[in-house]
């Protein structure tokens, strides 16, 4: 797999944290950042999949966004009363 070098700017404190974690995990800075980017992309895709599934279920059940919002509000209200 070929690679491309990029320049990226970080605040000094963030770069220190990146370097500390990379060092603690015996990784290079580049290896750490590649893994962080992969994890972020995977997490975004999982959430997109969850929302897609939710839209499919709502559509199949004939629910509108307003129906879902009302149900969430009612659940939160009942949960707050239990506290």
pLDDT tens-place string over residues 15-57:
999 999 999 999 999 999 999 999 999 999 999 999 999 999 9
* pLDDT(83) > 80: no
How many degrees, rounded to 5, is the angle at CA 14 between CA 10 and CA 15? Answer: 65
Short-list 30, 50, 28, CA closest to 38: 30
Question: Are the beta carbons of 10 and 21 closer than 8 angstroms?
Answer: no
| Every domain of the chain and the residues it spans | 12-82
Short-list 79, 53, 54, 76, CA closest to 65: 54
Q: SS in 3 state form for 21-42?
A: HHHHCCCCHHHHHHHHHHHHHH
């Amino acid at each position: 797999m070929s690679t491309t070098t990029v320049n990226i700017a970080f605040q000094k404190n963030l770069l220190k944290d990146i370097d500390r974690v990379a060092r603690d995990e015996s990784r290079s800075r580049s290896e750490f950042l590649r893994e962080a980017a992969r994890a972020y992309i995977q997490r975004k895709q999982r959430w997109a999949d969850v929302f897609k599934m939710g839209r499919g279920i709502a559509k199949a059940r004939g629910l509108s966004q307003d129906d879902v919002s009302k149900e969430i509000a009612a659940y939160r209200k009942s949960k707050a009363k239990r506290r």
